[in-house]
Amino acid sequence: MSGVYVHLPFCPYICAYCDFAKWPFKRSAAERYLRALEGEIEAAPYIRASTLYFGGGTPNTYAAQAIALLVERLRARFGPFEEATIEANPDLVKDEDLDAYARAGIDRLSIGVQSMIPQEIQTLGRRHTLADVERVVSSARKTGLRSVSIDLIFAVPGQTPQSWSQTLQWSVGLQPDHISVYGLTVEENTPFWTWREREPVAFFDGAAEATFYESAIEALRGAGYQQYEVSNFARTGHECAHNMNYWENGEYLGFGVGAASYLNGERSIHTRELSEYLAAIESGRQVPSQRESLRDAARTGEAAMLALRTRSGVRFADFNARYGIDFLKFYAPVIGDLQAAGLLQVDDETARLTKRGLFLANDVCGAFVTFA
Ligand code: SF4
């Protein structure tokens, strides 16, 4: 399986915690970027992709007709797609946009919600209301989009166990097909970073984050969502195929500023400088990118790290056949340490994170990348 990712980096406003490649929306820059994307798509190598994903930024700062034309161009080049997702900011979505997405073949809508508490939404620097979210979810249903997903964030300064529980209950009440739940990460060069330097007590420590995460797991599993990845929960049949391809170490082609691709064992990540990206495409040069060839232990370590994030974990028969190693023998020292620490469970066929391992997933999975 392979996927195509398109990065649309403009936003109506900039959130205080955001470290993505993004810029405030300006019509002239957005149009110029669209032309550059079209150029990059035409010049790209062919892959047969089964999923398409528009991420950002805020993809729906572009008119729905522009998105529909982009889908058509991408489908002609790499499709047909079995799943096509667009991320959307709920305050910008109009009902007619959803119709246009559905007609274009987009069947998943991923809505940036983050919280139901107005104070927390404001702290994060977002501007939507609960009514916006409720309207968009209900309209998406009427439009017939196959899957509606919402994103939530925990460990937001000022959040309490009660307010987080309210957010979870309200979210479940919206009956989305898919819910992603992320702990707040404070990245350098963001206003949140400066805030934390100034006032560290406003932010939660690892133990408090684990408590928020645990209550999310309980609430969402209790409401019938399967946790199919560390941060992702879905009703059966609504797992995000595009992201599953990443975790299964499949190939993907990324377009746009800061976008990553993984083809023929090589990972490349485009520059995150918009001006550099545009200048390269417009002058017919290759987009400046960081490239890394993943071979042997680097490749298997990466594959193990990704697989362990999922509910099915590493399935030895598949893994050994695909990568030509004996997983249990090769990683015996790491596996032993993680088992002893109660972070990894191993049976005859699979290795999976334990409940405790889920809370420390980045460290546990990362141990396979740093080994060897
Ligand atoms: S969090 Fe999303 S909407 Fe906010 S600035 Fe970042 S990309 Fe834009």
**Is any atom of ligand 1 closer than 6 Å to the C-beta of 14?**
yes
pLDDT single digits (tens) 286-303? 999 999 887 888 889 999
Q: Name the residue at shortest CA distance from atom 1 of ligand 1.
A: 18
Ligand 1 centroid to Cα of residue 4, in Å, is: 21
Q: Is omega for the bond preceding 57 within 30 degrees of 0, making it cis? A: yes
**Is any atom of ligand 1 closer than 6 Å to the C-beta of 110?**
no
318 vs 215: CA distance, rounded Å: 33
**Is any atom of ligand 1 closer than 6 Å to the C-beta of 16?**
no
Best probe residue, ligand 1, of 8, 10, 13, 18 (max atoms within 8 Å of C-beta): 18
Core vs surface per residue 274-284: b (16+ CB within 10 A) or e: beebbebbeee
**Is any atom of ligand 1 closer than 6 Å to the C-beta of 61?**
no
User: What's the pLDDT at 369?
Assistant: 87
Are the beta carbons of 149 and 178 closer than 8 angstroms? yes
pLDDT single digits (tens) 135-169? 999 999 999 899 999 999 999 999 999 999 999 99
pTM: 0.95
Mean of all residue pLDDT scores within the chain: 95
* pLDDT surpassing 80 at residue 372: no
DSSP letter (8 states) at residue 310 = B
Ligand 1 centroid to Cα of residue 15, in Å, is: 5
